[in-house]
Chains A and B, each alone.
Chain A
């Protein structure tokens, strides 16, 4: 069973017969005209038709809703053919516009032919439904064609990169004075490096050091910017010598 759908008011029978050359070879065909006034719905059940032909005088009449509806009434794996007349003041490449609409709605194997007076676009409804098997294509060595939207006015930016650029980058060399500190851990380190990096040699503070802090070098109370490398008070806010040290909001008592 085939469906011929058009936005025209009427279709000469000749047109239907001409569709035979496009593959309309079924005994039964249903013709629906003036589809623009149907509110985007057809009165047929799901997966009813083996082929759908769409003859459009205005591309804008092919709304997303119509493409969905066409898909609904098509059997899985069945074909849709759209033919549209080229009007003199038409925008360039109506076929790509139609292709895009089909692709976005899940049609596959979308191809078009641009004639001098009309364009023809074909597509297939996908067939993943329950029970159908996927073609293995193991020996075909052919990948599904992907249509790209029209960006041929831009150069391919990946062509700007050299062989050197594409190689895995070398990590920065580190001088002798930075013994032990080579690569930084990644932000989401999973190998344990981040944990290792955080191990810092730190003298534990005694209760005496907390309640009555003193400093031989004089810098311990000044804050991290001034403290020596091995200062036991490193990480704490600044404090006054002799006064009990506060820990700020970060420290849990259990850490000490």
Chain B
């Protein structure tokens, strides 16, 4: 094949890191099988124009809850959908697709299914049928991955034995040969280093230090966004929910120190959580590291990898080891992946630990690992404490410890109503594992622990990002549906429109809220009620409305979709007047239930069939007038 690259390319689109992990495993196995040239790349670092020049590509793509591809796939996918590419654009390309999804959702693995079909339509040839990983499987996506991957290697080997000359290493891994880590750590004398870290004299220094620490982390893969835009102080930390069913929903009010925070409604706040210093210290002690040493991280071979373009002159700015661990490595929350256990097995000196780790890393031990690790939300620190004979070199820790991730929150205030403040409405995540261990969400529990009254200032490193939707113009009628914490962005929209209404005419808003009962979790009760009386913008007099579904106040469950059906004439009236629908919340089933209710309303009020109503709503979605934003 003339002009085609002779390499095996693994392209992944990952939302939470699982697809990336799978892609790295595919690459690693190919290398073990002796494949002469293997590259693993994130789809958003790949130019789709060059796809026809590839000969063999393995795609690994996740599908999000609403059936969408991950953010990192959006540009690539849009390119592939172009009408003018033609049915022979990818002639000569051999490919395979593995999807990660959840069969609990209607739109199961849609991203992978659509990709597979589109590639064929463009002239590419599948090596084997697409593989579909399923979170509902007892061992998660690995249940489908193990057999699919084996089938892929066998087929490839059958077609062309030069691709995997050491195929036997894949079929019967000897388990005593470990590849080298991808990175090496350089230690620097403290005399060499400009003393940034010990003198955090001002906010500028702190922001710079956070950026340097995170830009050095290879696991963050250049996907980080530079210095925090703001270091915010918590001025209010108020519990909005009462009652003892354990749900803890907070309102956080954050203010910048010595700067002005600029944002618009619909924006999101991205937060870098702090880690409990006791856990950071315990990790450093367990791994026998020197917290005060200064380090830089370089690629192993000394040559810049094409895709690992994360490090920009890092050797000029060594960072203190403790700072790097605390800002870039998640030691006490995220669970490590299967490969972590595999590498650990090489460094275990106690025989029973070595055996157990090898078992966990093998296909036979996959389900047991799932029970021990994922289901119990084991942290890196806990795993290291359960296997005390393992001494992992720092190089491996840097590569394998999950990176400390930033979290996104919808902003629930309008800058018109609260200049220079950012409000958040956050549910403190808490789950009980099968072994009755209570696990808290790292970021939500950290924010909840910040006490505005304490003198020591704990600052929240934050970034402001545009939301996916532009702020609605004042004359656009709105139908807002936001049960539970889904009301967060809508408090912002309503505050904003109330302010706009003081100086100009505005269109009405219908708001549907839902919660369990009015005494325990009727978030912002006074706020909504104030705006729905006295000719307020949520009042029926003004053409709007505010309707609450209390799910547990009566025998049968009442949810927002029931309220929508009750108000079908009002909903239809606004839709007819050009309203846009916004739906937000954290439930998996809610968007589908609400969409069904809307279809019924449209069909009933206009007299068309359910199918026509469903199609009309789909068009509304494409036109940007029906927007769904959910989070888990």
The one of B137, B507, B576, B578 in contact with A103, judged by C-beta atoms closer than 8 angstroms, is B578
A165 interface hit (Cβ, 8 Å): yes
Known: A130-B542, A137-B607, A200-B435. A178 touches B619 (CB 8 A): no
Nearest chain A CB to B398 CB, angstrom units: 24
B138 interface hit (Cβ, 8 Å): yes
Known: A103-B578, A161-B114, A168-B106. A223 touches B78 (CB 8 A): no
Which stretch in B167-175, B248-256, B412-420, B566-574 binds the other chain? B566-574
B543 interface hit (Cβ, 8 Å): yes
A128 touches B573 (CB 8 A): yes
A115 interface hit (Cβ, 8 Å): no
Q: How far is the CA of A152 from the CA of B588 in the complex (A)?
A: 32
Known: A141-B607, A172-B137. A106 touches B578 (CB 8 A): yes
The one of A46, A140, A154 in contact with B607, judged by C-beta atoms closer than 8 angstroms, is A140
**Interface contact tally, CB-CB below 8 A:** 186
Q: How far is the CA of A141 from the CA of B608 in the complex (A)?
A: 5
Q: Interface residues of A, CB < 8 Å — how many?
A: 71
A234 interface hit (Cβ, 8 Å): yes
Q: How far is the CA of A159 from the CA of B103 in the complex (A)?
A: 21
Known: A161-B114, A250-B437. A148 touches B622 (CB 8 A): yes
Q: How far is the CA of A143 from the CA of B620 in the complex (A)?
A: 11
Categorize the interface residue count of chain B: 35 or more
Nearest chain A CB to B615 CB, angstrom units: 9
Q: Mark B584-618, 1 if CB is under 8 A from A, else 0.
A: 00111100000000000010011110001100100
Q: Tell me which residues across on chain A come within 8 A of B607, comparing CB atoms.
A: 137-141
Known: A148-B619, A157-B81, A169-B108. A202 touches B436 (CB 8 A): yes
B477 interface hit (Cβ, 8 Å): yes
Q: Which residue of A lies closest to B369 (CB)?
A: A225
Nearest chain A CB to B500 CB, angstrom units: 11
The one of A142, A154, A162, A174 in contact with B138, judged by C-beta atoms closer than 8 angstroms, is A174
Q: How far is the CA of A169 from the CA of B113 in the complex (A)?
A: 13
Known: A174-B138, A250-B438. A144 touches B386 (CB 8 A): no
Q: Tell me which residues across on chain B come within 8 A of A160, comparing CB atoms.
A: 113-114, 117-118, 121
A153 touches B83 (CB 8 A): yes
Nearest chain A CB to B483 CB, angstrom units: 11
B388 interface hit (Cβ, 8 Å): yes
Q: Tell me which residues across on chain A come within 8 A of B82, comparing CB atoms.
A: 153-155
Known: A108-B577, A154-B83, A165-B110. A143 touches B608 (CB 8 A): yes
List 13 other contacts, CB 8 Å, given A129-B543, A137-B576, A183-B104.
A108-B578, A141-B606, A143-B602, A146-B620, A147-B623, A148-B619, A148-B623, A153-B84, A168-B106, A184-B135, A198-B433, A200-B435, A222-B352
For this complex, 16 residue pairs linking A to B, each with C-beta atoms less than 8 Å apart, are: A68-B475, A105-B473, A105-B476, A106-B476, A126-B477, A126-B577, A128-B573, A130-B541, A134-B572, A137-B606, A149-B623, A153-B84, A169-B106, A172-B134, A188-B588, A238-B386
